[in-house]
Amino acid sequence: MKKPFLVCLPQTAASNAQVVEQICCQEEALVLDNGFYTVRAFYRKEGRIKYISHLDMNRCISRDLKRSGLPVWHTLGFNSHIYLTFALPLSLGYESLCDSFDFRLTREMDLEMARKQLAAVLPEGLTVYRLAKPVEKPEKIAFADYDIFQEFCKDAAIVQAQLKEWLSRPEILLEKKTKKSQKEIDVKPLFTLKKLEEQGENLFLSLRCSAGGTCHLNPTFLLDAFAAETGNPPDWARVIRTAVLNDAGEPWV
């Protein structure tokens, strides 16, 4: 079966990104702190660039910040490098409409001008849509929303019914591996199913997952367990992070 090249995103995904942009439009002036100004860049990662790892993404942004000509701040010490930190690293193969990274400037400048300078050197698939003063710390991240599209060799309606029943269980116990051990955890409290429906030959679901800290849930971890237990591995899948939220369920900025 031919895999669709493009899937239209639900209106809610676009709305979440617009909310972040509206909040950031109310940004305050940058604050000088220890000789630098911290800037938060909100960006979209779409298309083929989803296949680069987080480490390569870090290298890519560092290189592009250097190429942009912006007065970026470097760490001090023997191995000096551009300061760069990502709030919530994105899994390999995932796309995002709402990710962010922080970097520092050595002098204050117009943020829209800085955004355009950076945007001019970014590779295809990366779009920085807003630069702003950081408001919340990464520790405030509590949830992330995902839109997931899957295609199966069998009727999507059959898989939909099985997945709905599986996700409705009072407990969903999965084996989670760590560096030192393997333990069984109940992931049921770590996600909320927002929507589950057929979209043509695809199965679409929208999930809100616990994110950040020690309770981070990767949606693929959940869906891989369903596929292994029921014998329903997807022929094709697309995962898009549509929102990063604080503990109040509001866009994290």
Choose the final residue of a domain: 135, 166, 198.
Answer: 135
What is the mean pLDDT of the segment spanning 30-47? Answer: 91
Q: What is the pTM of this model?
A: 0.87
3-class DSSP state for residue 147?
strand
87, 154: one domain: no
118, 205: one domain: no
33, 131: one domain: yes
38, 123: one domain: yes
In a domain, 123, yes or no: yes
- Residue 69, sorted as left (phi over 0), alpha (psi -120 to 50) or beta, turns out to be left
CB atoms within 10 A of CB 23: 17
Give burial (CB, 10 Å; 0-12/13-18/19+) of 101: buried
Choose the final residue of a domain: 74, 105, 135.
Answer: 135
In a domain, 242, yes or no: yes
Instruction: State the Cα–Cα distance between residues 241 and 220, nearest whole angstrom.
Output: 12
In a domain, 3, yes or no: no
What is the mean pLDDT of the segment spanning 134-140? Answer: 96
Give the model's pLDDT for residue 16. 56
Which structure tokens are listed for 246? 């604080």
Give burial (CB, 10 Å; 0-12/13-18/19+) of 179: exposed
Q: Is a pLDDT exceeding 60 seen at residue 17?
A: no
Window from 26-30, 125-129, 132-136, 167-171 with minimum mean pLDDT:
26-30
Strands (E), 106-251: 126-132, 141-151, 173-177, 182-186, 191-199, 202-210, 236-246
Q: pLDDT-derived band of residue 3, with 50, 70 and 90 as boundaries? A: very low
| Chain segment 62-105, per-residue pLDDT in tens | 999 999 999 999 998 888 999 999 999 999 999 999 999 999 99
In a domain, 6, yes or no: no
In a domain, 5, yes or no: no
Q: pLDDT-derived band of residue 31, with 50, 70 and 90 as boundaries? A: confident
Instruction: State the Cα–Cα distance between residues 142 and 148, nearest whole angstrom.
Output: 20
What is the mean pLDDT of the segment spanning 27-32? Answer: 72
Q: Is a pLDDT exceeding 80 seen at residue 170?
A: yes
Give burial (CB, 10 Å; 0-12/13-18/19+) of 173: exposed
201, 144: one domain: yes
75, 165: one domain: no
CATH of the domain at 106: 3.30.70.580
Name the residue range of residue 161's domain. 140-246
| Chain segment 192-211, per-residue pLDDT in tens | 999 999 998 899 999 999 99
Choose the final residue of a domain: 135, 155, 175.
Answer: 135
CB atoms within 10 A of CB 195: 11
Q: Is a pLDDT exceeding 80 seen at residue 49?
A: yes
Burial 210-245, CB ≥16 within 10 A → b, else e: bbbeeeebebbebbebbbeeeebebeebbbbbbbbb
30, 104: one domain: yes
In a domain, 174, yes or no: yes
Q: Measuring CA to CA, which residue among 13, 39, 59, 58 is closest to residue 131? A: 39
125, 158: one domain: no
| Alpha helices per DSSP H over the chain | 11-25, 54-68, 111-119, 156-167, 219-230
87, 147: one domain: no
122, 147: one domain: no
Q: Measuring CA to CA, which residue among 93, 72, 94 is closest to residue 81? A: 72
| Chain segment 219-247, per-residue pLDDT in tens | 999 999 999 999 999 999 999 999 999 99
Tell me how many domains the chain contains: 2
Which structure tokens are listed for 57? 């993404």
CATH of the domain at 229: 3.30.70.60
100, 175: one domain: no
